[in-house]
Amino acid sequence: MKRRIGILTSGGDCPGLNAAIRGVARASYEMFDCEIVGIHDGYRGLIEGDTQEMERSQFSGILTLGGTILGTSRTPFRNMRKIEDDHVDKVEAMKKTYKNLKLDCLVTLGGNGTHKTANLLSEEGLNVIGLPKTIDNDLYGTDFTFGFHTAMDIATDVIDRIHTTAASHGRVMVIEIMGNKAGWLTLYSGVAGGADVILIPEIPYRIEEVAKVVERRARNNKGFTIIAVAEGAMNKEEAKMKKKEREANRAATHYSASADVAQQLRDMVGVEARAVVPGHIQRGGSPSAYDRVLSTQFGVHAAELIRDEIFGVTVALKGNQITHNKLKDIAGVPKLVPLDDQMVTIAKDMGISFGEKD
């Protein structure tokens, strides 16, 4: 029996997407008779029927390639059921494309939003298998998503490079790491880069406490301080605000978490402070060896699930085992850094400040 597999990548890109696509394709071609249809730019392509019959050769030479050969887009889940100006019923359109293409299953590579729509399509009767990707590592049910370790390596390299210039000039350097809701990337790269202060969305900070670290280091003849701040970090006052109010407040003041922290430290302590925003560099380029392996493992497991006709699931890493979760159990459940996370405790035991009260 020939199986027709649709595959799409949705949401923000990350290193490892092509390695995972390759894993699904190669293992499928090896294990059973199949045809693969590439869907362009995530759910946009599925809605609009923008697809391509793939050749086996197209999955060759892409293991180390950054980005995604299929293209991606953000098609927010909250709008999936909304009929907008174009009068398109997006869910019906996606089901129609699936039917027209005579697909036996759909493989969706993405983060939280992607998994919510994957679950919706599964509930609508499509055979769906998810693969967990995001540099944010904020997907419930898997220890790690692919893309996270590469981004951690990049962010750590940024911190390392900032370290030497910070020490030379005796400056406070505030490095803004990606992650709006979840602080995993800031936490791990902050520990790896030897940051003195780590500020994450899950632990609202007091700038007075951060200033105390800078002053204490200066008293101990350490003229520089490295602060790793997540894009979505907030102080205790901001944490009490609604999201819209917080964003307006940020826009009216210093635009970004790092600029905000740097300016407040200049005002409060009178130090030379600089903000550095590596931004999308953290999502670019070739996947690390770890992510190549994880993406391949995830891709191959997805092919095994197709072979065994297990649908409505997403692939996951638990301990050292590659396994899967039901989409309905994980869709829409964000994985934030718990306050008692072991890595938080380890960082605190190392003397790293999270900007809380001493």
Site map (CB under 6 A) of ligand F6P, residues 172-201, x = contact:
------xxx---------------------
Residue (222 or 246) nearer to ligand F6P, CB: 246
Asked whether the beta carbons of 272 and 253 are under 8 A apart, the reply is: no
Closest by CA position to 348, among listed 225, 158, 213:
213
CB of 102 to ligand F6P, least distance (A): 33
Asked whether the beta carbons of 17 and 9 are under 8 A apart, the reply is: yes
Residues 6+ apart with CB under 8 A from 98: 6, 46, 106, 121, 126
Positions in 103-142 near ligand F6P (CB under 6 A): 111, 134-136
Task: Decide if residue 9 touches ligand F6P (CB under 6 A).
Answer: no
Asked whether the beta carbons of 6 and 101 are under 8 A apart, the reply is: yes
Residue (135 or 269) nearer to ligand F6P, CB: 135
Question: Out of 35, 104, 202, 231, which residue is the one contacting ligand F6P (CB under 6 A)?
Answer: 231
- CA–CA separation, 305 and 32 (whole Å): 12
CB of 14 to ligand F6P, least distance (A): 7
CB of 294 to ligand F6P, least distance (A): 17
Residues 6+ apart with CB under 8 A from 36: 4, 5, 6, 7, 25, 28, 53, 54, 59
Positions in 299-358 near ligand F6P (CB under 6 A): none
Closest by CA position to 185, among listed 176, 194, 174:
176
- CA–CA separation, 153 and 140 (whole Å): 22
CB of 244 to ligand F6P, least distance (A): 17
Question: Out of 5, 9, 12, 41, which residue is the one contacting ligand F6P (CB under 6 A)?
Answer: 12
Residue (15 or 23) nearer to ligand F6P, CB: 15
* Exposed / middle / buried, residue 357 (Cβ in 10 Å: 0-12, 13-18, 19+): exposed
Question: Residue 300: in which H helix or E strand, if any?
Answer: helix 289-307
From the candidates 13, 104, 136, 260, which is the catalytic residue?
136
CB of 73 to ligand F6P, least distance (A): 10
The residue at minimum Cβ distance from ligand F6P is 178
Residue (80 or 306) nearer to ligand F6P, CB: 80
Closest by CA position to 152, among listed 179, 174, 130:
179
Closest by CA position to 302, among listed 49, 75, 84, 133:
133
Active site residue 157: no
Question: Out of 22, 90, 283, 335, which residue is the one contacting ligand F6P (CB under 6 A)?
Answer: 283
- CA–CA separation, 237 and 4 (whole Å): 53
Residue (49 or 285) nearer to ligand F6P, CB: 285
- CA–CA separation, 106 and 104 (whole Å): 7
Residue (22 or 283) nearer to ligand F6P, CB: 283
In what order do the strands lie in the sheet containing 51-53?
51-53, 34-39, 3-9, 105-110, 128-132, 313-318, 321-326
Residue (129 or 178) nearer to ligand F6P, CB: 178
CB of 345 to ligand F6P, least distance (A): 24
CB of 296 to ligand F6P, least distance (A): 22
Counting residues that bind ligand F6P (by CB under 6 A) gives: 10
- CA–CA separation, 38 and 60 (whole Å): 14
Asked whether the beta carbons of 21 and 70 are under 8 A apart, the reply is: yes
Catalytic residues: 136
Binding residues for ligand F6P, rule: CB under 6 A, are: 12, 111, 134-136, 178-180, 231, 283
